[in-house]
Amino acid sequence: MPVRAAIAAAVAAGIMTVCTATLSAATLRSATVITSDVVKLSDLFADLEPRQDKIIGPAPKPGASIYVGGRQLIAIADQYGVDWLDESPSAMATITRSGRVLDKEFFVGLVQKSLPDIGTGPVSIDLADFHPITVASDDPKPVVLSDVDWDQRTGRFSATVYRTHPTGDITQDSFLLTGIVRAPRRVLVFSRSLPAGAVISASDVNIDESYTGYATAKIFTDETEVDGMTLLHTVVAGEPVLERDLHRTVLMHKGDPVLIVFTAPGVHLTATGRALEDGGNGQYVHALNLASSMIVTGRVAGASQVDVDAGSGAVPSDPNMLRRLTASARANTRSDLSIR
């Protein structure tokens, strides 16, 4: 029988006399918050005897609670020899495990740390179909990201989240995290609105050093790359300059007579030639030097001029190609080389 009941019987029989000291007895804790992953006897009862405390079972999941009814409490007290004051089958005890909610802000920070190429500027991260999870409040590293994949062109990313301390629930111990990351980039944008068919010049574009918008095509970063190109449709100021929005304005056509210009310190040479391919302003094309039958590479500097860089080399032409160009010539193919 419980200690208190035995003492009461002894007093009633006159075997013991009651002293003035208060007898020691355990009291029920009606509500307890724990941080551990196990439940101890002291989580249910206060004022236990020395060395009486023991682990009696697993704790609930972080943020969850378990409820212990009176009959189960009586069974636990009897099993572990607890002299429970006010023992009652109608009693109830609640044990809650404290938890920390990992919200969207937490995972946004985790994603940002996991992308080394994201830069140091402002970053926009949007998580798709996100649901917060609850973890132990004292867990310094509750989750880890694995298999992180980020497409910098589209901004889409995905990663697998794993709990460092699994709960046994496969739907919660790991899950897929997806979303869009928009990191600042240095891109070329339109400085003003332009209609379809407009020919782009350097004054029509400028560099945005911290563009975070979404783009599905190649983005330009240098105004010289688009100088002389034609717009395929209307654009507005601030839009990125995309390859799909432009086409090269053809100034020079294959077979056209051209002036090949070579300039170096103290030297300026010119020669007549033929364009071997179509080219727009600023675009590199191949041209045939009719005097030497050599093929050179130069930049289109107008409808009939190719500027050859000082470090550019020449290669022998193909005889068949030379005959085709000669046959299609519309003017005298006699070369004219001069030094000015």
**pLDDT one-digit tens code per residue, 112-168:** 888 876 666 667 888 998 999 999 888 899 999 999 998 877 788 999 999 998 888
pLDDT value at residue 279: 85
Annotate 130-151 with b (16+ C-beta within 10 A) or e (fewer). eeebbbbeebeebbebeeeebe
Contact (Cβ atoms closer than 8 angstroms) between residue 273 and residue 298: no
Distance CA 287, CA 322 (A): 11
Residues in the chain: 340
Can you tell me the mean pLDDT for 85-103? Answer: 93
φ, ψ for residue 50, nearest 5 deg:
-55, 140
Share of the chain above pLDDT 70, in %: 84
Collapsing DSSP to helix, strand or coil, 41 comes out as helix
Q: What is the mean pLDDT of residues 173-180?
A: 92
Question: How many CB atoms neighbour CB 196 within 10 A?
Answer: 11
Mean residue pLDDT of the chain comes to: 83
pLDDT(183) > 90: no
Geometric angle at alpha carbon 178, from 172 and 183, rounded to 5°: 140
d(CA 225, CA 222): 6
Choose between 319 and 121: higher pLDDT.
Answer: 319
> CA-based angle 254:255:259, to the nearest 5?
100
| Selection from 146, 157, 217, 162 nearest residue 181 by Cα | 157
Rounded CA-CA distance 204/228 in Å is 11
| pLDDT of the residue at 114 | 86
Q: What is the mean pLDDT of residues 270-284?
A: 88
Instruction: Identify the weakest region by mean pLDDT among 132-141, 192-201, 327-336.
Output: 327-336
Through-space distance between the first and last CA atoms of the chain, rounded to whole angstroms:
122
DSSP 333: -
For 295-329, letters b (16+ CB in 10 Å) and e give: bbbbbbbeeebbbbeeeeeeeebeeeebeebeeee
Confidence band of 332 (pLDDT split at 50, 70, 90): very low
Tell me the mean pLDDT in the region 3-26: 46
Spatial distance between the Cα atoms of 69 and 88, rounded to a whole number of angstroms: 10
Which pLDDT belongs to residue 22? 41
pLDDT tens string 49-85: 989 999 999 999 899 999 999 999 999 999 999 999 8
pLDDT digits (tens, 9 = 90+) for 231-270: 999 999 999 998 888 887 788 899 999 999 998 888 889 9
Q: Is the pLDDT of residue 15 over 60?
A: no
User: What DSSP letter does each residue of 50-102 carry, written as one string?
Assistant: TT---EEEEPPPTT-EEEEEHHHHHHHHHHTT--BTT--TT-EEEEEE-EEEE
Instruction: Return the residue matching tokens 């989750």.
Output: 143
Helix (H, G, I), strand (E, B) or coil at 113: helix
Q: What is the mean pLDDT of residues 277-304?
A: 88
